[in-house]
């Protein structure tokens, strides 16, 4: 029999299923009963990865020991068959076999996997009856972990509290539970209690508590724990490395996270991803792209979360070409159909003004969910494609997807940017009647802007009265619509309202100054500018830039500093004369200075967006490529009109991204339908 035991153990160790079957047959021929070798054979089949044969033999055993039951339960759980494990547990109880500590620790995982809270509570009760909850820390740790996964942190803490001898595993289970539910302060308190009791933390404890320090922005404790990681010799452990990177990133200590990363001997996929995500979250997008390229060179395969972060970095900087390169990598990896990378890619192309590519990505997604559809609707909204956004919004019902708050904000923005007033009103009314969706300030802001821009100013003013404690953004949105339509008195009332609770709001003063200037009220302009000076406010100068042949060229109004200034002005003057023949008439209302009419017209000609487009056209003579310009403020009304005529004259597709949205100019028309 000892020979058979040794042979079975060797087969299990080498995972030799064929030999194990031969040994099994010899056991049967030799007449040995399963009472002696049955458990060993079952363990061998389990270690060889064939649960079906283990189950067959298990069913043939006349008397099944608790160890055999535990083997069947734990092996099924480890192979993702929690439902079968629970069935084994139930059958074991029916046969009168009492579970032990190992049983409870294993079956608790199955209950949490399947969401069987009641089953877990009954098992907990049995553990109490058997005296295993208080005395066996192994069982208590499993129960704490189970309750944490059920979001029953009070029950988890009660189990923890009743245990007499607490060890590092039990403390770590409670700390992880609190951290996973965003209760980082409580996690830190448990950690401090652990240290005070003289229990030494392990790598998992430290990794988890570092994340909690990062979430709390607690740099002091984070650095202390970093010191403990070094002292414990755990710096090379992957979990510690990743958690250190995350902690420093979330505490906005980017340089420290870079130092930690540079000291690593080896970084796996999770560590690289954590570093990239941290850089993007801290506004270090260019560094993130550089690190991602290094990751690819090191042959580390990115996951959907790595790629999503990189697409976010590209969209923040409007790096379309780099984003397209990253898209190509995604396709090579076969991840272009993934819903996470897909949503991020749609967002990237939307923010770069390439709606066609955004739609292509959307159409190849293997799984459509609310996030993907929201991303596509928002891409349409940013670019003024209101009807397409509405069509997709209506398609959600056919797909059985329920719109959420973000969906409604995006579709209202789409209606706003395309001037679809009645459609926007209809959707806003549907939100009001939908008790599952709570109207937020963002919904009201979109609607006030939509009504205001369509000259339904009284309705917009009435709508703001419905908002409990309207903030500066809402009032300034209303004020801006008054500015668009030159309603000075109404704007002054809105300003007084804003100054009641935000007297130092610079944006409001600048808005009203511009309104007075466009209305020719120069005395009021002087007064407002004096107030702005006293408040030491600075208005951001208008600036436009264009990327030509991977080189960015920046322009400011009347800028003569560009090395090609002569060619730019020559091209610009030629364009102005030609578009005048087509019907362009300079609109001097957009000159916010007290000048004579001729100087006003001259001032209009040298706005930054006109200079950027003139340069782009000169630089790309003979090409038919799309011209993409960017502006830090809103495109002015006169420039908007001028660009339409230029697109008609040259036949070029011009995309302008300003502080609010994209304008797609083609053949003398704009995607905003002049509802800018």
Number of H helices, E strands in the chain: 37, 6
Task: Report the range out of 174-188, 552-566, 655-669 with the highest average pLDDT.
Answer: 174-188
Residue 199 lies in a domain: no
Boundaries of domain holding 575: 543-670
Residues 6+ apart with CB under 8 A from 336: 327, 330, 342, 345, 361, 364
Q: Are residues 657 and 639 in the same domain?
A: yes
* Residue 535 pLDDT > 90: no
Lowest mean pLDDT among 53-62, 239-248, 275-284, 322-331: 53-62
Lowest mean pLDDT among 315-319, 418-422, 511-515, 644-648: 511-515
Lowest mean pLDDT among 50-54, 491-495, 599-603: 599-603
| pLDDT for res 263 | 87
Residues 6+ apart with CB under 8 A from 172: 201, 202, 204, 205, 208
Among 234, 197, 196, 199, residue whose Cα is nearest residue 210: 234
Region 465-482: what's the mean pLDDT? 85
Q: Are residues 550 and 651 in the same domain?
A: yes
Region 214-236: what's the mean pLDDT? 91
User: Which of 495, 515, 535 is the last residue in one of the domains?
Assistant: 535
Residue 36 lies in a domain: no
Q: Give the DSSP letter string of 246-260.
A: HHHHHTT-HHHHHHH
Which strand (E) or helix (H) includes residue 409? helix 405-418
- Say how far apart CA 290 and CA 222 lie, in whole Å: 27
Q: Which residue has the higher pLDDT, 172 or 503?
A: 172
Q: Are residues 601 and 626 in the same domain?
A: yes
- Does pTM top 0.85 for this prediction? no
Q: Are residues 527 and 473 in the same domain?
A: yes
The pLDDT tens digits for 427-450 are 999 988 887 888 889 999 999 999
Lowest mean pLDDT among 24-38, 133-147, 166-180, 230-244: 24-38
Helices within 115-183 (DSSP H only): 117-129, 132-135, 137-149, 153-162, 168-180
Q: pLDDT band for position 499 (50/70/90)?
A: confident
Q: Where residue 499 sits, what CATH number does that domain have?
A: 1.25.40.10
8 A C-beta contact, residue 601 and residue 584: no
| pLDDT for res 676 | 47
Region 179-201: what's the mean pLDDT? 94
Q: What is the DSSP letter of 344?
A: H
Q: Are residues 528 and 604 in the same domain?
A: no
Q: Are residues 551 and 644 in the same domain?
A: yes
- Say how far apart CA 460 and CA 391 lie, in whole Å: 26
Q: Are residues 660 and 549 in the same domain?
A: yes
User: Which of 477, 507, 535 is the last residue in one of the domains?
Assistant: 535
Residue 500 lies in a domain: yes
The pLDDT tens digits for 547-596 are 888 788 999 888 888 899 999 999 999 999 999 999 998 877 766 555 55
- Say how far apart CA 195 and CA 134 lie, in whole Å: 21
8 A C-beta contact, residue 562 and residue 615: yes
| pLDDT for res 43 | 75
Mean pLDDT of the chain: 87
Q: pLDDT band for position 599 (50/70/90)?
A: low
Q: Are residues 527 and 592 in the same domain?
A: no
Residue 440 lies in a domain: no
Beta-bridged to residue 546, according to DSSP, are: 553, 629
C-alpha to C-alpha distances, 314 to 184, 280, 373, nearest whole angstrom: 32, 10, 20
Residue 637 lies in a domain: yes
Residue 503 lies in a domain: yes
Q: Which residue has the higher pLDDT, 450 or 50?
A: 450
Distance in angstroms between the alpha carbons of the first and the last residue of the chain = 88
Rg (CA), the chain: 34
| pLDDT for res 344 | 94
Residue 631 lies in a domain: yes
* Residue 314 pLDDT > 50: yes
Q: Are residues 489 and 518 in the same domain?
A: yes
Q: pLDDT band for position 616 (50/70/90)?
A: very high
Region 402-421: what's the mean pLDDT? 93
The pLDDT tens digits for 353-380 are 999 999 999 999 888 899 999 999 999 9
Percent of the residues in the chain that have a pLDDT greater than 90, as a whole number: 57
| pLDDT for res 597 | 56
Q: Are residues 488 and 561 in the same domain?
A: no
| pLDDT for res 136 | 86
8 A C-beta contact, residue 30 and residue 58: no
Q: Are residues 552 and 498 in the same domain?
A: no
Q: Which residue has the higher pLDDT, 538 or 152?
A: 152
Strands across the sheet with 551-556, in order?
Answer: 551-556, 543-548, 627-631, 654-657, 662-666, 669-670
| 3-class SS of residue 9 | helix
Residue 13 lies in a domain: no
User: Which of 486, 504, 535 is the last residue in one of the domains?
Assistant: 535
Domains held by the chain: number: 2
Q: Are residues 530 and 576 in the same domain?
A: no
Q: pLDDT band for position 146 (50/70/90)?
A: very high
Lowest mean pLDDT among 55-69, 341-355, 529-543, 608-622: 529-543
């Amino acid at each position: 029999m000892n020979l058979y035991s040794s042979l079975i153990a060797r087969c299990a160790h080498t995972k030799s299923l064929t030999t194990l079957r031969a040994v099994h047959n010899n056991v049967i021929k030799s007449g040995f009963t399963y009472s002696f070798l049955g458990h060993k054979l079952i363990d061998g089949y389990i270690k060889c990865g064939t649960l079906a044969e283990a189950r067959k033999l298990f069913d043939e055993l006349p008397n099944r020991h608790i160890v055999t039951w535990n083997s069947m339960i734990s092996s099924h759980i480890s192979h993702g068959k929690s439902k079968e494990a629970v069935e084994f547990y139930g059958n074991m109880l029916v046969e009168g076999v009492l579970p032990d500590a190992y049983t409870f620790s294993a079956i608790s995982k199955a209950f949490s996997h399947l969401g069987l809270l009641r089953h877990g509570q009954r098992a907990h009760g049995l553990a109490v009856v058997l005296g295993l909850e208080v005395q066996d820390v192994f069982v208590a740790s499993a129960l704490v972990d189970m309750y944490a996964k059920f979001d029953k942190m009070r029950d988890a803490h009660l189990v923890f509290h009743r245990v007499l001898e607490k060890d590092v595993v039990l403390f770590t289970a409670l700390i992880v539970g609190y951290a996973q539910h965003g209760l980082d302060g409580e996690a830190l308190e448990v950690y401090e209690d652990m240290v005070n009791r003289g229990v030494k933390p392990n790598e998992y404890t430290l990794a988890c508590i570092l994340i909690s320090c990062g979430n709390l922005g607690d740099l002091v404790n984070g650095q202390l724990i970093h010191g403990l990681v070094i002292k414990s010799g755990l710096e090379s452990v992957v979990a510690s490395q990743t958690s250190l990177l995350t902690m420093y990133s979330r505490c906005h200590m980017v340089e420290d996270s870079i130092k930690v990363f540079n000291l690593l001997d080896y970084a796996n996929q999770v560590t690289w991803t954590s570093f990239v995500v941290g850089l993007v979250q801290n506004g270090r997008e260019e560094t993130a792209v550089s690190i991602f390229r290094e990751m690819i060179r090191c042959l580390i395969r990115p996951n959907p979360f790595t790629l999503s972060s990189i697409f976010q970095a590209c969209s923040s900087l409007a790096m379309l070409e780099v984003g397209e390169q990253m898209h190509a990598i995604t396709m090579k990896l076969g991840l272009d159909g993934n819903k996470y990378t897909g949503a991020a890619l749609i967002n990237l192309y939307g923010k770069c003004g390439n709606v066609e590519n955004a739609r292509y990505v959307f159409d190849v997604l293997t799984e459509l969910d609310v996030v993907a559809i929201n991303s596509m609707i928002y891409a349409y909204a940013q670019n003024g494609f209101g009807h397409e956004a509405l069509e997709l919004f209506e398609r959600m019902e056919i797909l059985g997807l329920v719109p959420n708050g973000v969906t409604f904000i995006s579709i209202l923005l789409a209606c706003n940017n395309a001037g679809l007033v009645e459609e926007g009103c209809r959707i806003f009314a549907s939100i009001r009647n939908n008790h599952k969706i709570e109207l937020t300030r963002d919904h009201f802001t979109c609607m006030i802007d939509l009504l205001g821009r369509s000259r339904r100013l009284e309705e917009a003013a009435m709508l703001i009265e419905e908002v409990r404690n309207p903030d500066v953004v809402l009032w300034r949105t209303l004020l801006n619509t008054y500015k668009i339509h030159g309603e000075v008195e109404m704007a002054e009332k809105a300003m007084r309202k804003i100054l009641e609770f935000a007297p130092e709001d610079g944006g409001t003063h600048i808005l009203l100054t511009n309104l007075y200037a466009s209305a020719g009220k120069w005395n009021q302009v002087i007064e407002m500018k004096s107030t702005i000076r006293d408040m030491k406010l600075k208005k951001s100068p208008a600036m436009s830039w264009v990327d030509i042949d991977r080189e960015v060229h920046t322009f400011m109004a009347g800028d003569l500093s560009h090395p090609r200034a002569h060619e730019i002005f020559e091209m610009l003057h030629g364009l102005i004369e030609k578009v005048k023949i087509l019907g362009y008439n300079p609109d001097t209302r957009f000159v916010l200075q007290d000048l004579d009419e001729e100087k006003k017209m001259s001032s209009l000609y040298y706005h930054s967006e006109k200079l950027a487009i003139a340069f782009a056209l000169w630089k790309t003579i003979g090409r038919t490529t799309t011209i993409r310009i960017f502006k830090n403020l809103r495109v002015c009304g006169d420039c908007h009109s001028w660009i339409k005529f230029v697109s008609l004259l040259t036949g070029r597709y011009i995309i302008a991204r300003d502080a609010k949205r994209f304008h797609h100019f083609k053949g003398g028309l704009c995607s905003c339908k002049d509802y800018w």
